[in-house]
Structure 1
């Protein structure tokens, strides 16, 4: 399988899209993943304004977090479903239809002449590669929710359902909690330290990457070209 491409007509529907959920991540404690909806906006805004944890740990989130930010992010999630027929953004919930308590997403890598799609070093087949991300409400930290979701996202959704060959996660090197989630998700440290520009801060920050490889033969393929 190669990374999905945008539909020429953009006619995929949410009813027929893959990976919409809901997924049961854990029953004790109860934890579910389902597609993000516009009805999640109020709770998303409330949670992301409790403190600056997500802002400080992410290269993209703003603080204060506005309704327009949530609207744009969820619209992009819906647009992805329409474009490729696969849902790649999920809300963490304590019940299947309950309020959002966190977020998980997957982004397929995109390629061009400067950044060609990687191939398997033995078979020569094109590889499907994705990056995952996650955040959790500060009201629910310390319960192992993020690690459970990370492990489920990697193994059950990315590797099994989406057929990814390599799954990665990026963290600031100083963000210990985020790095622990990646490790508890079954990922191994791939890139120990790289300095990149964080546009929202206007400064350079050190990042590290973790990865899971379906085939150990692809571990020689290390991504270094990160930017935001």
Structure 2
């Protein structure tokens, strides 16, 4: 069974036996990868609960997200962690990934979700994400999206059509989607309700042929910094 990194082992000391087995199963099926020499991408852990709550209650993060409830409570985090873990264990494919700064003992700093909905449904978000503001501007999300959409959505799940939304004015999110290869659909935007306000959204889409897939740029995972190698 996949061994946990030393920083990650420290995160599971207080888990119940059932939770610990879940952690081991998640890591065994999808061991963490290195996005950069110091940033890891891998499964959400039950011990991430406090950091998850802290980030999703931060207005700098929450303001640009449609899905999570606000305020984000303990029971919301418990449901999300269980839902993500159960979903992966059921079908064997990790669809929700978290980012960890391994220079900070594996602290959670962001997340990205890849949808498994088939190509007949193009109304939801096939890619969703958030990142701690202090890590913005370094291309981390664009790089992660390119790797995971290619490795999971395209290669493993066989998806060829993608749909995503960004709040109008959220240029960073729009650029991330465009760097993934998605194009703006100016006449297909939509309005969403959030905190009693109506917010217009950009819609971006990407349709790929098998020839397009063969031509896509291959982005590789990084190698960990020497001081972070077990």
Q: TM above 0.5, one fold?
A: yes
Give, in whole Å, the separation in 2 of the partners of 1:82 and 1:168: 26
Q: What is residue 201 of structure 1 aligned with on the other side? A: 195
Q: Give distance in 2, aligned partners of 1:18 and 1:161.
A: 17
Q: Displacement of 1:103 after TM fit?
A: 0.4
Partner of 1:148 in structure 2?
143
Residues 103-122 of structure 1: pairs in structure 2 closer than 5 A? 103-109=111-117, 118=120
Q: Which of residues 20, 36, 44 in structure 1 aligns to 2:44?
A: 36
- Give the deviation of 1:88 after TM superposition: 0.8
Match of 1:157?
152
Alpha-carbon offset, residue 19 of structure 1: 6.6
Structure-2 residue corresponding to 1:210: 204
Is 2:80 the partner of 1:73? yes
1:169 paired with 2:164, answer: yes
Runs of 4+ deviating beyond 6 Å: 16-19
Structure (1/2) with the larger strand percentage: 1
Go from structure 1 to structure 2 and tell me whether the alpha carbon gap of 1:18 and 1:197 turns closer, same or farther (over 3 Å shift): farther
Is residue 2:175 matched to residue 1:180? yes
Structure 2: how far apart are the matches of 1:168 and 1:151?
15
CA distance in 1, matches of 2:51, 2:26: 27
Aligned-residue offset at 1:18:
9.2
Decide whether the 8 Å contact of 2:55 with 2:61 is kept in 1: no
CA contact under 8 A between 1:94 and 1:101: conserved in structure 2?
A: yes
Aligned residues: 188
1:17/1:84 CA distance change after superposition, 3 Å:
farther
Conserved 8 A contact 1:105-1:133: yes
**Is contact 2:116–2:157 with CA below 8 Å preserved after alignment?**
no
Q: Which residues of structure 1 form unaligned runs of 5+? A: 1-12, 111-116, 120-126, 219-228
**CA 1:15/1:43 → structure 2, altered by over 3 Å: closer, same or farther?**
same
Which residue number in structure 1 is paired with residue 19 of structure 2?
none
Quick one: which of 56, 70, 92 aligns to 1:48?
56
- Aligned with 1:102: secondary structure? strand
For the pair 1:25 / 2:35, whether they are aligned, the reply is: yes
Q: Is the 8 A contact 2:40 2:99 kept in 1?
A: yes
- What TM-score do the two structures reach when normalised by structure 2? 0.68
Secondary structure at 2:83 match in 1:
helix
Q: Displacement, 1:66?
A: 2.2
Bigger share in helix = 2
Q: Which runs of 5+ in 2 are unaligned?
A: 1-21, 213-230
- 1:17–1:81 contact (8 Å) kept in structure 2: no
